[in-house]
Amino acid sequence: MAQSLADRRPNGEMAAARLGTMRLLLGNRVALASAVLLIAFVAMGVFAPWLAPYDPNRQHPEAIRTAPAWQSDGNRDFVLGTDGLGRDLLSRIIYGARVSIALGVVVVLLTMVVGSGLGLLAGYFGGWLDAVLSRVADTLLAFPFLVLALAVMAATGPNLIALVLALAFKGWVDFYRVSRGDVLAARHADYVTAARGLGASTPHLLFREILPNVVPPIIVLAALRMATVIIAEASLSFLGIGVPPSIPAWGTMVADGRADIAAAWWIATFPGLAILVLVLSVNLLGEGLRDALDPRMSL
Amino acid sequence: MEPPLLEVAGLRTRFDTYRGPLVAADRVSFELRQGEALALVGESGCGKSVTATSIMRLVRRPGLISDGIVRFRGEDLLRLPEPAMRRLRGRRIAMIFQDPLSSLNPALTVGAQIIESLRVHGIARGREARERAVKLLTAVGIPGPRERLRSYPHQLSGGMRQRVAIAIAVSCSPELIIADEPTTALDVALQARIMELLASLREERRLSIILITHDLALIGQFCDRVAVMYAGRIVEYAAVEQLLARPLHPYTEGLLKCIPRLGRPDIPVTPIEGVVPDLVSPPPGCRFAPRCPYVMARCEQREPPDYRLPGGRLARCYLREEGSEGAPWPPEKRG
Amino acid sequence: MAAGEARLMNGDGPMVRVEAVARHYRLGRHVVRAVDGLTLQVMRGETLGLVGESGCGKSTLARIMCCLEAPTEGRVLLEGLDLTALRPRQMRPLRQRLQMIFQDPLASLNPYQTVARIVALPLQIRGGLTKTAVRDRVAELLGTVGLSAAQAHRFPHQLSGGQRQRVGIARALACDPRVIVADEPLASLDVSVQAQVLRVLQELQERLGMTAVFISHDLSVVSHVSHRIAVMYLGRLVELGPARAVIDEPRHPYTRALLAAVPRIGRASPLPPSLLEGDPPSQLESPPGCHFRARCRFHQTEACHQTDPELETLEHGHSVACHLAKREIH
């Protein structure tokens, strides 16, 4: 599939350009591995009902705090062991992927669209819009995230929508700043001036000239932010103000396993490892995207 | 006759790019006598800057000096241990770069940078260094030198910055200055002043200079000899007046014909057709063959050697085979 | 010129005229006068060369001429029509009549667009052409500037500097402009590439009878393409006249100094002593008298210290703003 980069036939120049991007991404082995891992996690979440051996909330009173299967006091029925209520860890981890990824995606999409959109407008039109929005953004940044989240969750109780909003509250500011900065830079670029000189309309300038330059850094930021959101959600769940307890979430599981960390280390460790691996792969993918998406890097 | 100050023989510097190895400077050879000004002329990508940084051993990965001898006062710089080379840099050979905004440290004052140069090379310290710095700034024509010591590079105009760079370069009284396109970023009026400055410094301090430039008109006023580079090779080497009056290599001729002459709109500007070859996979024969108006079959098969011609001239072109004298020069480095 | 709107205003008047144009910036407490009370016009089919050092305001003037920047004072007239009086909405359809070729071709081409897209854009904005017609015209334009059809699908960073500049020229031509303002079009190019692009411009000049303004700090290039030359200093015009006259018989001390500073092949060494004192002053200072006073090496008179000289015609369309020059001919 990958054409040789030196192959420059007249037809398919466009294809060569796109393939160059793919090739760069594929060539970056770390990014590739991360992408594969991420897909595995997503698949895990999607196919959870078929993959998980047990219902994640089902308690097995006879097998409370069972060690992982490979240990001497383990049990083959529960591969990664069970927690303090006898729930199968493996199943809970598999189902937990849903929460982490779904929340991550939703929150990131929300903050990305809102933040970048506002940044685009603020950067292009400037004036009072920029002044107001930027002050709001700066003020929000001053609030510590946990305090804000605590306030929101305490007010509404365990509620997924509220959780999403709490996570998104400050998240849009990063997107706002990045897109505003890029727009400011692009606005004065000669190619935008040239387009203006051609009689291009404002929507054209915004969406056809400036936006394509803003998108790649935003996508990279989105990937990196996803990692932050996953950790934030895990932290909130750990504190007990995140996902409602009936839904298995890695953060909650870590919190549950805290007390048993000495005797039944697996209860907190495996969910912790899951968080680690997911966040790491998302981060690495983000880094790989950064290189792949700059058209100047390819070919 | 005293030996040359600098002898470069068979210098070869390559860069390992993701597309393959690229030989940026290919068997470059020339010499420079004391007090002489040599011009290294060529367009972007011809290898002139790489040659300069190779002489100074400032080449970093993915670049690598893979072959050659660079003899400075008899000592081969390429085989010097790094600490010895560091002592030499700035002290006996100094370099001036094209863009003073990036070659000067934006976080240090002008004075601090000059004084650092003096201190590091053990020339002077403290108050004495400061006095010398003031004298240097005066020598390069910066008004209010004492106050200027405390200025930062961005507070100075482009011309003044370049003067500061020159001041730093001459601060340790080097024997050789390599100036890499020192005036390219400057207006013509500033260029004239800077070249004036370099000329007077050269005379006062008996400096030898390698001037790297793409401006053939500039070298006529400043340099004694010139080496023309194309695609990593030196294609012609001669005294400046001879070269300008009668170029012997088609590339040099092409260059001269494509420069518009001031006040002579009657002399047409004739571009050189084609583009510079890709150095990752250069053409098999003469590198200029694809663009040469005089190209012959043999040019595309094998690269011509350097033909030695009367008057100490060299030309790497089969056209000059007839008038050549003896073996090609200088001898390729062996072993 | 190509077909299109045929709304000729004045048949004999200048194609484009900037009248008493000024551009001031506020920089803290100071006012920077990038362009200061300048009046200039370009006749139909003429190439006017505009020279000066960096910071003299020529790029600002270029942008004002193309209506890419609004002047603080003054008007810009295209075939007699006052463009500065128009509202943005009215201006937009007229924009393609004044096109600029930018100095840095890499910056003036959108890195995310292919060459075909970039050159087609003006046609698409104008509208009225089918997709096929657009494609054909793009191919035609690329051919005019010496680019092959294969280049159409490349991105700017895949092209060489010279090729990029040609794309810029093709884009400008796609607009069927009345006036082309080339702002240092050769500055970022190698010597041999400059000659190639210069030839493209010269051919266009001959074939299309373009009206153009050619801005450059390189006097040699300007003298080869221009019919008339204007010299700018600190936002003002100091000399204006037929190219031959300005180059061979410069009247303003600044022009003389600039010409003397240009290195010429075949001119014997030694370096001539520079006729210019000091570095160009910033546009912040404006002492009384002639603005060039601080750097002028000639003997200065009372008038030089008191009043800033106006541009006055000496002979044969050759104007100078210098008290000394005016006295010389009397």
Q: Are C95 and C62 in contact (CB under 8 A)?
A: no
Helical H runs in chain A? Answer: 13-27, 29-46, 48-51, 89-125, 127-142, 145-156, 160-187, 190-197, 202-204, 211-239, 250-258, 266-293
- Determine whether the interchain pair B271/C198 forms a contact, defined as Cβ–Cβ distance below 8 Å: yes
Determine contact, residues B302/B285, Cβ cutoff 8 Å: yes
Q: Would the CB atoms of C54 and B187 count as touching at under 8 Å? A: yes
Across the interface, whether the CB atoms of C191 and B255 are under 8 A apart is answered: yes
Using a CB-CB distance cutoff of 8 angstroms, which residues of chain C are in contact with residue A193? Answer: 63, 68, 100, 102, 108
Q: Is residue C284 over pLDDT 90?
A: no
Q: Which of C198, C259, C279 sits opposite B269 (nearest CB)?
A: C198
| Pure H helices in chain B | 48-55, 82-88, 100-103, 110-120, 126-139, 145-148, 158-170, 188-205, 216-222, 240-245, 250-257
Pick the CATH number of B1-35+45-82+212-335 from 3.40.50.150, 3.40.50.720, 3.40.50.300, 2.40.128.20: 3.40.50.300
- Residues of chain B with C-beta less than 8 angstroms from the C-beta of C224: 260, 265, 269
The residue extents of the domains of chain B are 1-35+45-82+212-335
Chains that touch C (3 or more CB pairs under 8 A): A, B
Give domain limits for chain A: 17-293
Nearest Cα residue to B232 out of B193, B171, B185, B279: B279
Q: Do C112 and A196 touch (CB under 8 A)?
A: no
d(CA A149, CA A169): 8
What confidence tens digit (pLDDT) does each residue in C287-303 have? 677 878 777 777 777 77
> Rounded to an integer, what distance in angstroms lies between the CA atom of residue C223 and that of residue C227?
8
Q: Which residues contact C28 (CB under 8 A, 6 or more apart)?
A: none
Mean pLDDT by 10 residues, chain B (335 residues): 88 89 92 93 91 92 90 91 90 90 89 92 90 92 90 88 92 93 85 89 91 90 92 94 92 93 86 88 90 91 89 89 64 40
Instruction: Provide the percentage of residues in chain C whose pLDDT is more than 90.
Output: 42
Task: Tell me the Ramachandran region of residue B20: left when phi exceeds 0, alpha when psi lies from -120 to 50, beta otherwise.
Answer: left
Asked if B152 contacts B109 with a C-beta cutoff of 8 angstroms, the reply is: yes
The Cα–Cα gap between A92 and A82 comes to: 9
- Chain C interface includes B297 (CB < 8 A): no
Distance from CA of A179 to the nearest CA of C (A): 17
Question: What ipTM score was computed for the predicted complex, to two decimals?
Answer: 0.84
Cβ-Cβ contacts under 8 Å, C95 against chain A: 196-199
Q: Which residues pair with C50 in a beta bridge?
A: C215, C230
Neighboring chain C residues of A297 at a CB cutoff of 8 Å: none
**Residue linked to tokens 């013509």:** B188
Checking C122-128 for CB contacts under 8 A at 24+ apart, the result is: C122/A198, C122/A199, C122/C96, C122/C171, C122/C174, C122/C175, C123/C174, C125/A198, C125/A199, C125/A200, C125/A204, C125/C96, C126/A199, C126/C96, C126/C175
Residue of B nearest to C250 (CA): B263
**So what's the pLDDT on residue A111?**
93
pLDDT (average), residues C130-147: 92
Partner residue facing C264 (CB), from B255, B262, B271: B262
Contacts of B190 in chain C (CB under 8 A): 53, 279
Q: Do C92 and A190 touch (CB under 8 A)?
A: no
Answer for the pair B43, B276: CB distance below 8 angstroms, yes or no. yes
Contact A198 C149 (CB under 8 A): no
CB contact under 8 A, B271 and C53: no
- Separation CA C226–CA A295 (nearest Å): 38
Yes or no: say if C190 and C223 are a contact pair by the CB < 8 Å rule.
Answer: no
Model pLDDT for residues C52-79, shown as the tens digit of each residue = 988 788 999 999 999 999 999 999 999 9
Beta-bridge mates of residue C229: C49, C241
Mutation test of the interface with chain C: which of B187, B216, B272, B279, choosing the one with the most C Cβ atoms within 10 A?
Answer: B187
* CA nearest neighbour of C204 among C158, C145, C151: C145
Q: What is the DSSP letter of A76?
A: T
Q: Which of C66, C110, C126 sits opposite A197 (nearest CB)?
A: C66
For residue A194, the chain C residue with the least C-alpha distance is C108
For chains A and C, CB pairs below 8 A equal 81
* AA identity, residue C46: E
Please tell me whether residue C48 adopts helix, strand or coil conformation.
Answer: strand
Q: d(Cα B40, Cα B11) in Å, to the nearest integer?
A: 14
Compare all CA atoms of chain C with the CA of A211 and give the residue at the minimum distance: C112
pLDDT score for B280: 87
Torsion sign (Cα): A144, A150, A152, A153: positive
- Segment among A4-8, A12-16, A143-147 with least mean pLDDT: A4-8
Question: Residue C122: in which H helix or E strand, if any?
Answer: helix C115-126
Q: What DSSP character marks residue C224?
A: H
pLDDT band at A62 (very low <50, low <70, confident <90, very high): confident
Conformation bin of residue B10: beta by default, left when phi > 0, alpha when psi is -120 to 50: left
**Scanning every residue of chain C, which has its alpha carbon at the shortest distance from the alpha carbon of B265?**
C224
pLDDT at C281: 61
Task: Give me the sign of the Cα torsion angle B172, B174, B178, B184.
Answer: positive
Position C1 confidence tier, pLDDT thresholds 50, 70, 90: very low
Residues of C with CB under 8 A from a CB of B: 53-54, 160, 162, 190-196, 198-199, 217-221, 223-224, 243-244, 247-248, 257-267, 269-271, 273-274, 276, 278-280
Q: What confidence category does residue A160 fall into, taking pLDDT thresholds of 50, 70 and 90? A: confident
- The set of chains that have 3 or more CB pairs under 8 A with A is C
DSSP output for C252-306 = SHHHHHHHHHS--TTPPSSPPPPS--SSPPPTT---SS-TTGGG--SPP-HHHHH
Cβ contact, residue pair A196, C95, below 8 Å: yes
The CA-atom distances, in angstroms, between C96 and each of A270, C59, C173 are: 65, 19, 9
The C-alpha of B162 sits at a distance from chain C's nearest C-alpha, in angstroms, of 12
Contact C192 B272 (CB under 8 A): yes
Average pLDDT over residues C10-25: 82
User: Which residue of chain B has the CA closest to C56?
Assistant: B187
Q: How confident is the model at residue A295 (pLDDT cuts 50, 70, 90)?
A: low
Q: Is A143 helix (H, G, I), strand (E, B) or coil?
A: coil
Model pTM?
0.82
Architecture of domain A17-293: Orthogonal Bundle (1.10)
Rg of chain B over all Cα atoms, to the nearest angstrom: 21
User: Degrees (nearest 5) of the Cα angle C116, C117, C123?
Assistant: 100
Q: Which helix (H) or strand (E) holds C65?
A: helix C58-65
Q: Cβ contact (<8 Å) for C224 and B43?
A: no
* Tens-place pLDDT, residues A250-274: 888 888 888 888 888 888 899 999 9
Choice among A173-182, B133-142, C269-278 with the minimum mean pLDDT: C269-278
- Report the residue of A13, A192, A294 to disrupt the C interface, i.e. the one with the largest count of C CBs within 10 Å: A13
In the block, which residue shows the tokens 């008191």? C306
Residue whose C-alpha is closest to residue B53's, from B43, B36, B40: B40
Strand ranges across the sheet with C16-27: C30-42, C16-27, C73-78, C81-82
Torsion of CA C7, C11, C16, C19, to 10 degrees: -110
**Contact between chains at A195 and C121 (C-beta distance less than 8 A):** yes
Contacts (Cβ under 8 Å, ≥6 apart) of C328: C251
* Residue C154: CB atoms within 10 Å: 22
pLDDT band at A5 (very low <50, low <70, confident <90, very high): very low
Q: Does B101 touch chain C if contact means CB atoms closer than 8 Å?
A: no
- What is the residue-wise DSSP string for C140-193? HHHHHTT--GGGGG--GGGS-HHHHHHHHHHHHHHT--SEEEEESTTTTS-HHH
Whether B10 and B67 have beta carbons less than 8 Å apart is answered as yes
- Name the pLDDT band for C6 (thresholds 50, 70, 90): very low
Q: What percentage of residues in chain C have a pLDDT greater than 70?
A: 89
Q: How far is A14 from chain C (nearest CA, A)?
A: 6
Say if the Cβ atoms of C224 and B258 lie within 8 Å: no
Per residue in B141-190, pLDDT (tens digit) is 888 899 999 999 988 888 889 999 999 999 989 999 999 999 888 888 88
Contact C122, C112 (CB under 8 A): no
CA distances for C56 relative to C24, C187, C283, C291, angstroms: 13, 16, 8, 12
Q: What is the pLDDT of residues A65-110, one digit of tens each?
A: 888 888 888 888 888 888 888 889 999 999 989 888 888 889 999 9
pLDDT at A24: 57
Considering only CB atoms, B189 lies closest to which of C199, C244, C276, namely C276
Coil, strand or helix at B66: strand
User: Would the CB atoms of A194 and C102 count as touching at under 8 Å?
Assistant: yes
Residue A199's nearest CA partner among C116, C126, C179 is C126
B13 pairs with which residues across the strands?
A: B25, B65
Q: C271, B221: Cβ pair inside 8 Å?
A: yes
- Cβ contact (<8 Å) for A299 and C158? yes
Q: Is A251 helix (H, G, I), strand (E, B) or coil?
A: helix
What's the rounded mean pLDDT across residues C117-144?
Answer: 93
